[in-house]
Amino acid sequence: MVQQPQSKPLELVVADPSTGASCSIPVPNGVSKTQGMHASFVVLPTSESARDTLTVLDNRTNKVYTIPITDGTVKATDFRQVQDTTGEGLRLFDAGFVNTAVARSRITEIDGAKGILRYRGYPIEQLSEKSTFLEVAYLLIYGELPSKNQFDDFEYEVMHHTYVHVKLAELEQSFQYDAHPMGMFIATMAAASTFDPSGNPALAGSDIYTKDKKLRNKQIFRILGKVTTIAAMAYRHRIGRPANPPQQGLSYTENFLYMMDHLSEPGFRPHPVLARALDVLFILHADHELNCSTAAMRHIGSSLVDPYSAVAGAAAALYGPLHGGANEAVVRMLESIGTVDKIPAFIESVKRREKKLMGFGHRIYTSYDPRATIIRKLAYDVFEVVGTEPLIEVAQALEQVALTDEYFTSRKLYPNVDFYSGLIYKAMGFPLDYFPVLFAIPRVAGWLAHWSEAMDEPNAKIWRPRQIYCGEARRDYVPIEHRDETDVRLTEMTKTASSTRRRISSWEGKKPGKL
């Protein structure tokens, strides 16, 4: 029998002249995975003039392409020139944006391997020790630390806009008493966009924020000012107490705690240690590059919608348990462990993949999260005022075990910002379901910084990712009476007795006996 030759697998041979190396990347269905760019390289000869480029050999067509390299990246659109025999350009597939950069930014720098976090070049350690949240917000949004006059003006404008329209307050009061505070926060922030027609691009013009920086600043002041008031109103409504109006003469975090906690005490002022601790936590959570919610802010903002709507959308992304709910999950995990002596059994259950170790590991950091180091020290300042949180001993013991266990260290699982932050919030008396709101308040500063940066980008385009269609080929419509019967039901769900009663009730036109 004559053996048939096997067809050559489709692949790209990519060479990097700057290092003199190459790798092969499979090309299934005309799509190259960007994760393949991480592969090891073998040395090839090169010339000095070809440095800072990739040389791509397409084994499907034997054509060679040269792709420029800028800042360690290549443009996905440059791969359109890599075409098969049908003329279809190559696209890059990166599920979950694991190795894809979608924006150039000057705001936040992260080195995950070295555990470095900097806002506008300033180390997070220095800012958390010496700065304030409002000063950091100014830095993130405008790029430089403010002068005394600049900061005074900024603080005045933000605090001046802490009051909200009475109709917004009535909206929050209309929610069910047990509504999740994050749901109230998102809905009220979205509704705030309807109170300023001059700031609505749908009414005032699509380019108002790309051309008018004064209007942009006006909305930044308003949102930063109102976000704490909206958040505090959600908390007060949840516990059945009337909202406190903002109090002038207090710092940003002091005013927030005042609106949260003031009852009828004359001269009420939050404890300075707790106010400072919250200020530091706000600094640490103010921005973290293109995380899920910040990417959502830029994505929504690229449509040139108003910033209130974009912030509401970003907050909705933060609401998810994989993002803003992580520190709540840590506290629940520690509560389930209960005592130090139960940690070994818990660790073994994690290794058997029966339970998850929350608060460890990060998409970016492969070393200790620098924010976790700061929060760990901050926790003891809070405990000196409010008393020791019993779960801190469990957290410390769990951390020690995980950091000395090869199973976790080999996977580069180190404590992240969520591991200790939830314990501080719990010790300060915040309910667990309020944790995402405490995350959202400071992250608004980062969202607005990214939104403003995007508005300054020349020739910016609306974000519109591509997909790889994996569905059915062309099909012709079949009338319902000619379709095959099936027992598969699409309405399976948890039913109550009343819903079943309504479903089996008769109504005109319903076939007898059909449920």
Per-residue pLDDT of 4-51, as tens digits, reads 444 445 566 666 655 656 666 666 665 655 554 433 333 344 455 567
Residue 84: which pLDDT band, with cuts at 50, 70 and 90? confident
Residues 152, 221 within the same domain = yes
Residue 371 falls within a domain, yes or no? yes
**Number of domains present in the structure of the chain:** 2
Residues 51, 156 within the same domain = no
Residues 68, 152 within the same domain = no
Containing 32, the helix (H) or strand (E) segment is strand 31-33
Residues 74, 151 within the same domain = no
Look up the CATH number of the domain holding residue 186.
1.10.580.10
Residue 506 falls within a domain, yes or no? no
Residue 198: which pLDDT band, with cuts at 50, 70 and 90? confident
Residues 247, 382 within the same domain = yes
- What pLDDT, on a 0 to 100 scale, did the predictor assign at position 150? 98
Residue 100 falls within a domain, yes or no? no
Residues 289, 373 within the same domain = yes
Residue 435 falls within a domain, yes or no? yes
Residues 117, 70 within the same domain = no
Residue 310: which pLDDT band, with cuts at 50, 70 and 90? very high
Residue 419 falls within a domain, yes or no? yes
Phi, psi of 70 (to 5 degrees): -130, 125
* Mean pLDDT calculated for residue range 364-377: 91
Residues 289, 347 within the same domain = yes
User: What residue has token string 């569905």?
Assistant: 471
Task: Look at residues 436, 456, 476 and tell me which one is the last residue of a structural domain.
Answer: 456
Residues 247, 343 within the same domain = yes
Low-confidence winner among 7-21, 186-200, 222-236, 479-493 (lowest mean pLDDT) = 7-21
- What pLDDT, on a 0 to 100 scale, did the predictor assign at position 490? 64
Residue 120 falls within a domain, yes or no? yes
Low-confidence winner among 273-282, 298-307, 383-392 (lowest mean pLDDT) = 383-392
* Mean pLDDT calculated for residue range 202-213: 90
Residues 305, 213 within the same domain = yes
Residue 374 falls within a domain, yes or no? yes
Rounded Cα distance, 483 and 479, in Å:
7
- What pLDDT, on a 0 to 100 scale, did the predictor assign at position 43? 35
Query: Model confidence over 445-485: pLDDT tens digits?
Result: 999 999 999 999 998 899 999 999 999 999 999 999 999 88
CA dihedral (293, 297, 302, 306) positive or negative:
positive
Q: In sequence order, which residues have a C-beta less than 8 Å from that of residue 341 and are 6 or more positions away?
A: none
Task: Look at residues 404, 422, 456 and tell me which one is the last residue of a structural domain.
Answer: 456
- DSSP letter for 369, please: -
* Mean pLDDT calculated for residue range 135-160: 98
Q: Name the packing angle between helices 166-173 and 181-192 (round to 10°).
A: 150
Residue 366: which pLDDT band, with cuts at 50, 70 and 90? confident
Rounded Cα distance, 494 and 489, in Å:
13
Low-confidence winner among 104-113, 155-164, 291-300, 324-333 (lowest mean pLDDT) = 324-333
User: Where in the sequence numbering do the catalytic residues fall?
Assistant: 323, 362, 418
Residues 305, 367 within the same domain = yes
- DSSP letters of 425-439? HHHTT--GGGHHHHH
Q: Would you state the structure tokens that stand for residue 211, as one six-digit string?
A: 């051309």
Residues 160, 223 within the same domain = yes
Mean pLDDT of the chain: 88
Look up the domain containing 50 and give its range. 45-84
Rounded Cα distance, 172 and 185, in Å:
8
Low-confidence winner among 7-16, 41-50, 160-169, 328-337 (lowest mean pLDDT) = 41-50
* Mean pLDDT calculated for residue range 99-106: 92
Task: Look at residues 456, 481, 498 and tell me which one is the last residue of a structural domain.
Answer: 456
- Cβ–Cβ < 8 Å for 290, 102: yes
Residue 19 falls within a domain, yes or no? no
